Amino acid sequence: MATLTDAQQRDVQYQLHPYTNAVKHQSIGPRIIERGEGIYVYDDQGNKYLEAMAGLWSVAVGFGEPRLVEAATRQMQKLPYYHTFTHKSHGPSIALAEKLIGYTQGRMASAFFTNSGSEANDTVIKMVWYYNNALDRPEKKKIIAREKGYHGVTVASGSMTGLPANHRDFDLPLPRIKHTSCPHYYHGARPGESEEAFATRMAEDLEALILKEGPETVAAFIGEPVMGAGGVIVPPRTYWDKIQAVCRKYDMLVIADEVITGFGRLGTLFGSERFNIEPDIMVLSKQISSSYQPLAAVLINDKVASVVSSHSGKLGTFGHGYTASGHPVATAVGLENLNIIEERGLVQNAAESGEVLQQALRDMAGHPLVGEVRGVGLIAAVEMVADKESHRPFEPVGTIGAPLYERAHEHGLIVRAIGDTIAFCPPLIITREEVHDMVGRFARALDDVYKQRK
């Protein structure tokens, strides 16, 4: 058992960590990250890591960006806090709402701010229910999400998440939340089935679920344009067209959870652009502020906004909101962060560096452990399988992913292991040379694990 440093011991004693095996944590302790600069972070032992996950899919402009520090400081000095309840507002929240709606070129009408993606998705669920009550459709309340989708961890958003660890022994999901098939062609396709036919079948699965539940009870469909935490799953090309056609047929709202895909990740400003999604509701977070401040936004189109606002008039209030909704420091930082993304052409850089990333990883497809390489723009994944021919996964799950995740640190690389899939989602500032460096480090870690198994 490793000897823990004083800081590690105090961490183990006093802190319960998210997404961590608390028993194992007692013996291995945390890696303590002390500072960051550009695409790198440094731990308290002086080790430097290329942060291939941008933290949690989020630090678009890189670590240690002085303009964001200055924006926060300026706002702290002027007005460190004020709320947006009961007809109050402030400059930063107004400016950010205007900018976000402007980005959608009129497709969205109004922005509602929260602190996290989970709260944003909770807000979405409440808005969908409120909307249908306003329309006098009290039965139309079910929301369909997808297996392996990720929408957060609160009671309601965690219900929409389609991952077993988020439900098991938490008594989730809530009864009004249903899940349809995950559009992962590599694992889900039947022998001989084309991508096109697979996409059609995914839409048929959705329709079958709607019919089983009763279309008059189904209110909305939510999906990430590209699934992130579920394993970076890129749907087949025609998937979203077919899914949206089913939603329109049954008068359901389409919700695009762009918490990861928003602000350039796929090489387009939004993932919806890339996949021709026409959402009624969009959920944004993470790269909205590069996570320098907790911030998320729900954008609603005119169809939803007009009903929600007039219903609030009827009831006397829209009875929902967080103390920090539109927090002035968070929205000031978000605004400056989006200015940087624009000025430095980071969406374009994501497209260009993204192409290099996709190619460099696809060049590894011949490796004996590599099953599938997938991704778009600056988000990608490499899945290791036990049998390349049949795509059979490793048993137990994590046989390769867990040691590979650890080994990567020795090569100065932080990645994310999702079972036996390794995810990449680097800061949008990454250069082509740095992409090659990142993939090289990963390849060396993979070879280490491979040699150890032989």
Which residues of the shown chain bind ligand PLP in the complex (CB under 6 A)?
56, 116-118, 121, 150-152, 224, 228-229, 257, 259-260, 285
- Rg (Cα) of the chain, in Å, rounded? 22
Find all residues with CB under 8 Å of 211, minimum gap 6, and list them: none
- Nearest distance from C-beta of residue 367 to ligand PLP, angstroms: 28
Nearer to ligand PLP, 75 or 114 (CB): 114
- Nearest distance from C-beta of residue 225 to ligand PLP, angstroms: 9
Cβ proximity of 378 and 405 under 8 Å = no
C-alpha distances (whole Å) from 393 to each of 195, 362, 387 are: 21, 19, 7
- Nearest distance from C-beta of residue 284 to ligand PLP, angstroms: 10
- Nearest distance from C-beta of residue 231 to ligand PLP, angstroms: 12
Q: Angle at Cα 12 formed by Cα 8 and Cα 14, nearest 5°? A: 115
Instruction: Identify the burial level of 192 via C-beta atoms within 10 angstroms of its C-beta, where 0-12 means exposed, 13-18 middle and 19 or more buried.
Output: exposed
- Nearest distance from C-beta of residue 111 to ligand PLP, angstroms: 17
Longest dimension (CA), the chain: 70
Q: How many CB atoms lie within 10 A of CB 155?
A: 15
110-114 and 296-300 beta bridge pairing: antiparallel
Nearer to ligand PLP, 162 or 228 (CB): 228
- Nearest distance from C-beta of residue 258 to ligand PLP, angstroms: 8
Question: Cα–Cα distance between 52 and 54 in angstroms, integer?
Answer: 6
Nearer to ligand PLP, 252 or 423 (CB): 423
Nearer to ligand PLP, 260 or 445 (CB): 260
- Nearest distance from C-beta of residue 228 to ligand PLP, angstroms: 5
- Nearest distance from C-beta of residue 95 to ligand PLP, angstroms: 22
Question: Cα–Cα distance between 381 and 77 in angstroms, integer?
Answer: 42
Nearer to ligand PLP, 300 or 356 (CB): 300
Question: Cα–Cα distance between 120 and 322 in angstroms, integer?
Answer: 10
- State whether residue 27 is helix, strand or coil: helix
Residue 452 sits at φ, ψ, to 5 deg, of: -65, -30
Cβ proximity of 30 and 18 under 8 Å = no
Question: Cα–Cα distance between 350 and 287 in angstroms, integer?
Answer: 13
Nearer to ligand PLP, 134 or 288 (CB): 288
Nearer to ligand PLP, 259 or 330 (CB): 259
Nearer to ligand PLP, 228 or 328 (CB): 228
